[in-house]
Amino acid sequence: MEHTYDLDAVHEFEAEFEGTPSTGHWTCPHCDSEKWHNCEPCPDCGTNPEDYGEPSFSWSPCDCCGSHLGGDRYDVIGWFKGARAGGYTDEFQWSGHICPDCLRYLANGDLPGKGES
- pTM equals 0.80
For residue 116, the model assigns a pLDDT of 47
Per DSSP bridges, beta strands 71-80 and 56-58 are antiparallel
Sequential pLDDT tens for the chain (117 residues): 455 678 888 889 989 999 888 888 888 888 898 888 777 899 999 988 888 778 999 999 999 999 999 999 999 999 999 999 999 999 999 999 999 999 989 888 887 765 544
- By the 10 Å C-beta count (0-12 exposed, 13-18 middle, 19+ buried), 26 is classed as middle
- The continuous run of DSSP H or E covering 74 comes out as strand 71-80
